[in-house]
Structure 1
Amino acid sequence: MKTLFTSFCLCCALSITAMAQTPTLTQVWETDTTLTTPESVLFDTKNNVLYVSCINGKSVPENQESFIAKISLDGKIQQRIFVNGLNAIKGMGIIGNKLYAAGFFAIVEIDLATGRVVNKYNVPDAKMLNDITIDDKNKTLYVTDMRANSVWKLQDGKLEKILEGSPLKNPNGLFYENGKLLIGNGEGILYAYDTKTKDLSKFAEGMGNEKSGIDGIESDGKKGYFTSEWRGRIWHVSPQGKPSLLLDTIDKPMNTADFEYVSSKKLLIVPTFLRNKVVAYKVN
């Protein structure tokens, strides 16, 4: 009887611990609606500001009116920058003093000091570039081509295709950590790609469908991850690959695109795409 009671108590304790580890979100601020079609948010740790890529219209090759906005960590819009014929831009990453943004067919390199486009890397046969992530050494960039079902690497100015075809299906979100790429697939599956062994394995699933796959991916700092589903959901994924739904704004309707997580502030900062604003949530 004592053994059964002890086992029951242990199971209860483990269940309570697991529940306590699942974070919750509380909205703390939102911007006005001048950030037209915001797709991605990136935190610049060096300058302590946020960059927001704004498609500013339809996500089509003909759209040359995209811009990047700079906003503070309390949601104040500081300025629109880099209005240089940017083409339906989406994901971003920083290497040194350069900001890289995914245009429709090319990776655009922007000087942070001047706001000028200093280089463009045209991806061969690109169909729609989307998310960007940078490796731990701050030297290598990875980008998804969503419609071509592929992932590319940019290193030392040279492009290389590292993944293509099945099981990739409309891959969008990307996140690099400790030699592995997490890839958000179009049907809500999170894949892990080992950049050394080239092994591709399924890490988590159940976060979307063929109409709305995984858009953003960020580490929670505790070996788990936050992910977003474009149509309006944010998930937490445990280190074991189990997803838990944190936020559902589909019925509002309000999109949840390629967000940023500022761990020092415990802020999850979400671009709302068609709602034309950025919303910040405190992670509890």
Structure 2
Amino acid sequence: MRNLISKTLATVAVAASSLFLLSSCGNSGQSNSAESTDSTATENLELSLSLEWKTDSTFTGSESALYYAPNNIIYLSCGNTDPSAKDGDGFIALLHPDGTVKNKDWVTGLDAPRGMAIMNDKLYVTDIDVVHVINIESAEIEQTIPVEGAVFLNDLATNGESIFFSDSRTGVIHALNEAGEVTAVVTGAEGINGLECYNGDLYSLDAEGLKRYDSDYTSMLINSEVTGGDGLVILGDSTFIASRWEGEIYYINGQETTLLLDTKGEESKTADIGFIEEMNMVLVPTFTKNELAAYRLE
């Protein structure tokens, strides 16, 4: 079902200071801790993105990609043709890491599913103004949690104990505990979207840039160049990959920012990216192109 595409160098290389390292909490839903890597071992390492594969265009409104290592599967949320409409055309697809399709219609009947994370063998998915809890073994929606005052729920992440999710229209980050209670933990975050967790802290992308929140949800602006970001991957203590929906992917090292990929000329979006750590693979939902593309980070 996929169309293999010859490997093509995406764009410029950039100096890195840490080895590829996926966070122990974030939209990946991984519960195991990732160990820090000695940055001196990879000093002067150059990074680039090269296209490995791309699916066909049957994944309408492909929005968010999530790789879950325990079952070696990519989850892809789709159906965002009208991201604010409760039209029932949303679905979650399953793909293998080589881009072949395991089950295109794994879960159907959603509206506009976006961010995803796995905690305790449940897939949590934002969907406009609710969060769905899906049993990953049975593919059944076990619970749908309404979020009071929600307008446009977007990205979602976990630290293994709570689920965090953003509302891009209201500027709120919500937290959902295992008892099903929802609390607004951050307010006034204009344009909030991408979320990840790392070493006990919550990270976000909003209109001001890349931020870190400590345990008291006090924010620190880490990078002010990548504003209005969409997807976020944490590689190490100060290294990140971030996407802008319009078609850009950046490498961030503190305040230093380098553009790795620009697909705006192709009118191909770069929505909520995922990452396969073992393959150094960045997963890119193309949204309006209705595809999932995979780029190797090397």
The two structures have a TM-score, normalised by structure 2, of 0.83
Corresponding residue for residue 185 of structure 2 = 162
- Greater relative contact order (CA < 8 Å, ≥ 6 in sequence): 2
Corresponding residue for residue 173 of structure 2 = 151
Corresponding residue for residue 75 of structure 2 = 51
Superposed, 1:71-86 pairs within 5 Å as: 71-86=95-110
C-alpha separation in 2, matches of 1:74 and 1:131: 25
Give structure 1 stretches of 5+ with no counterpart.
1-14
Corresponding residue for residue 53 of structure 2 = 29
Corresponding residue for residue 4 of structure 2 = none
1:197 CA displacement: 3.1
244, 260, 264: which one aligns with 1:250: 264
Q: Give the paired residue count.
A: 259
C-alpha separation in 1, matches of 2:156 and 2:162: 10
1:20 CA displacement: 3.4
Corresponding residue for residue 190 of structure 1 = 210
205, 222, 231: which one aligns with 1:216: 231
Higher radius of gyration, 1 or 2:
1
Corresponding residue for residue 206 of structure 1 = 225
Residue 187 of structure 2 aligns to which amino acid in structure 1? E
| Shift in alpha-carbon separation, 1:237–1:17, aligned structure 2, 3 A | closer
C-alpha separation in 2, matches of 1:130 and 1:17: 29
1:122 CA displacement: 0.9
Residue 250 of structure 2 aligns to which amino acid in structure 1? W
C-alpha separation in 2, matches of 1:97 and 1:192: 27
1:126 CA displacement: 0.3
Deviates most, 259-268 or 59-68: 59-68
| Shift in alpha-carbon separation, 1:115–1:172, aligned structure 2, 3 A | same
Residue 218 of structure 2 aligns to which amino acid in structure 1? D
Asked if 1:281 is matched to 2:295, the reply is yes
C-alpha separation in 2, matches of 1:50 and 1:95: 15
SS in 2 for 1:215: coil
| Shift in alpha-carbon separation, 1:22–1:123, aligned structure 2, 3 A | farther
1:61 CA displacement: 3.0
C-alpha separation in 1, matches of 2:143 and 2:255: 38
Identical columns (%):
29
C-alpha separation in 1, matches of 2:191 and 2:268: 21
C-alpha separation in 2, matches of 1:269 and 1:177: 19
Corresponding residue for residue 279 of structure 2 = 265
Give structure 2 stretches of 5+ with no counterpart.
1-13, 18-42
- RMSD, aligned CA: 1.8
213, 226, 230: which one aligns with 2:241: 226
Corresponding residue for residue 129 of structure 1 = 153
Asked if 1:41 is matched to 2:65, the reply is yes
